[in-house]
């Protein structure tokens, strides 16, 4: 099955969201705090920053999927809370996570997730 970059981004967004929420559950925080933390991490601006943190660790193949995602054009415009550049970068990030998930590369997903986290997000 061949998926487009936007289809990979669609599933990649959910994969990353689930990883963030699963990590937050382990912290045993209050529900409201978990929700606020998750929404602060799973948005275009935050994902663009996260992508920048992991770029040095990506293979050429992974970079290719990021580029494909960045270049993909959704039928809707970027949200008002994000610049077009941040929105494109976050789509590239989601495309990468979707690709890794579809390929069954769970260890690599976990590795990139861990590399992407800042000390306050751990």
Domains of the chain: 5-121 (1.10.1520.10)
- Annotated active-site positions, please? 13
pLDDT digit string (tens) for the chain, length 122 residues: 799 999 999 999 999 999 999 999 998 889 998 888 888 899 999 999 999 999 999 999 999 999 999 998 766 666 677 888 898 999 999 999 999 999 999 999 999 999 998 776 65
pTM of the model: 0.89
Helices (H), the chain: 5-26, 31-41, 44-54, 60-71, 84-102, 106-116
């Amino acid at each position: 099955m061949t998926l487009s970059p936007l289809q990979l981004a669609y599933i990649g967004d959910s994969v990353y969201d689930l990883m963030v929420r699963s990590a937050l559950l382990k912290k045993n925080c209050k529900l409201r705090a978990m929700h606020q933390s998750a929404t602060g991490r799973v948005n275009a601006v935050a994902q663009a920053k996260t992508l920048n943190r992991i770029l040095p660790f990506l293979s050429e193949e992974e970079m290719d999927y990021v580029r494909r995602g960045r270049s993909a054009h959704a039928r809707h415009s970027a949200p008002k809370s994000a610049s077009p550049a941040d929105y494109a970068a976050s789509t590239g990030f989601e495309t990468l996570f979707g690709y890794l998930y579809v390929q069954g590369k769970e260890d690599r997903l976990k590795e990139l997730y861990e590399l992407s986290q800042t000390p306050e997000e751990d």
